[in-house]
Structure 1
């Protein structure tokens, strides 16, 4: 099997409007989160990550005025990725589009208002785009249309692992020769009371925690994650295709392994056995330069990372979590972890896990300040609501 390489990437994330800004924030360890009080039941502090920049032509073009925000984010990240890959048309290419999303467009105001109108039997007030808002695949179709792709189009929804497993699916199509180029990404945008109330009910996020204590990976004081929005897209090709096009190769996706905890959706696998198995399979006995970790400030998840660090690496391999900077944008986080790993490789640094004191995780080799060094291989860990685990191995292209 030939190498699967990355030739382009694009990003939209909290306080991050493009790749250059993402690189700068990662290097400097910028906190892109904020604490607000208008989403909680009684004015408690809630930690969130919002995208404040414009979506340029996606917002001003009348053709897209009915598109949900989650689709517009994917369109913006996808356009940047194609530009970075020097792709402007696909007349001679077989293209596949693979987009991961966890919550789809349910954060749209039109969706929430429609639910009320349905229960009130207000048939004529239902917006014409309602059927597309509730259809997750319309997100991918909208992104594909905007980018000019008409081939294989797939939507993957496996919780927070969605975009990492989208890469896994795309690699199958590329290695089989069914497509020449894969546009792969993730997009999610649900930062509202629905998310706050829902995740607070399950104790996945904490109400009344400040940025000093909450949504901090590898900290026993943290009582939950930060809800955020974001989108990321990468362009994948077979090595020979990229070389033929004579474009810069940004890195290699060597392998992605996924599985499921196999427990009831109303319980958690506190042992982390399946995450351990997935990471063990993807590293194949190697020690990567660091682990781009799924740790997000939920004690159960972070303790699983601690177990993997001890049993697989004896705490010798550095761990870092970008969620300390951008929060957890659901199904988009996996692709953003991959892109941040590629930036690490190409610019020689390990991003820090900011805001943590390592309290309760003192034995782990946690990167707290940016480490400038050569980076050749990175392992990514990712866990999703519903029990899926996904791990990736990213390498410098040689």
Structure 2
């Protein structure tokens, strides 16, 4: 019998979400953690964003960490919470691997921009000594490893918004092959600034001048894009037999993850969803999950692909929901945050709602718009990344 890969801890930092307890409350009660601002758009229009306004004070005020990118601090904090729940305060006697998914890294940080300006001005002496690390995504992961006292295998996976889900996929291979005993797996990203807004506004991927009632709303034909946000999530993975030896609570099982790529030119869009359908079909293996934790985010081409998956694979008979209606899209962190929300569903008996949508244009789908309190045993996850990667996961109650 193959070794099962189980989850023994998780930690979260997300918009208006400082810890797991707050994440559970927000998901269960359908709380919108997004806001509208006018200082990031080209001409002062409203833009919808999600950011963490508190909860990093301890790290941000420590001189040791003041030069670190915000994504690093987010990953450090969520990793600490996950290890605490897993009761793994001492990792010295275990083979540990750290796997982190990162999509945009530190490119939005002020020090990064200052470095570019100084380079363009040929001002060598004013280029910050931190520049090489701000431009190197793996430095974020390495610093998180240092903070969590992990000296083993350390990997950075960067495949757009699928990064952290594919980090879990990689970690599972290392666990099943006996290379490591514990995997600390997560994702972290923070790019809520003018550079992100201008860039995505140019490609018409974010809603400019739309209210929270209409913009960044999954499964609503009037939504003109997604809400950029920041966040981090970390889960602790172990082989089932090792978790049982530790007599630790098992929070769920990662059954399978499948990933692929649309295989189209980077400046094109794959609108049929064939590769997403293929990945989801492979991961469900003919099973009927209690619901789909969807990647739908308010971009019509993406959400229509979810509609096609629902029709072709389930004939619209499986409920769909999207937590992005509450927390937006924190780039490479969203996959692991979807996994954690699915595990919370299993352990607390509810399906989180897709808030703010009236389902207009998606009436045939079974979309959860109010919290469904029920037993949840199996959840399928869909995820898509900038660059064309698709990743799907199957999460199960541990038995």
**TM-score strictly above 0.5:** yes
- Tell me the TM-score normalized by structure 1: 0.99
CA deviations 1:167-219 (Å, max 9, x no partner) are 00000000000000000000000000000000011111121111011000000
* Structure 2: gaps of 5 or more residues: none
Aligned to 1:65: 66
CA deviations 1:302-324 (Å, max 9, x no partner) are 00000000010000000000000
**Aligned equivalents of 2:265 and 2:316: distance in 1?**
31
In the alignment, structure 1 residue 43 sits paired with structure 2 residue 44: yes
Aligned to 1:320: 321
How big is the shift at 1:395?
0.2
**Aligned equivalents of 1:144 and 1:327: distance in 2?**
27
How big is the shift at 1:121?
1.0
Aligned to 1:233: 234
SS in 2 for 1:64: coil
In the alignment, structure 1 residue 126 sits paired with structure 2 residue 107: no
SS in 1 for 2:250: coil
- RMSD over aligned Cα atoms: 0.6
CA deviations 1:83-109 (Å, max 9, x no partner) are 010010112100000000100001111
SS in 2 for 1:62: coil
Structure 1 stretches of at least 4 aligned residues deviating more than 6 Å after TM superposition:
none
In the alignment, structure 1 residue 186 sits paired with structure 2 residue 191: no
Equivalent residue pairs, number: 398
CA deviations 1:6-39 (Å, max 9, x no partner) are 0000000000000000000000000000011000
* Structure 1: gaps of 5 or more residues: none
**Aligned equivalents of 2:214 and 2:282: distance in 1?**
34
Aligned to 2:19: 18
Worse-matched range after superposition: 312-321 or 63-72: 63-72
- Tell me the TM-score normalized by structure 2: 0.99
**Aligned equivalents of 2:80 and 2:54: distance in 1?**
16
How big is the shift at 1:54?
2.7
SS in 2 for 1:104: coil
Aligned to 1:217: 218
SS in 1 for 2:350: coil
Aligned to 2:361: 360
**Aligned equivalents of 2:9 and 2:55: distance in 1?**
21
SS in 1 for 2:372: coil
In the alignment, structure 1 residue 100 sits paired with structure 2 residue 97: no
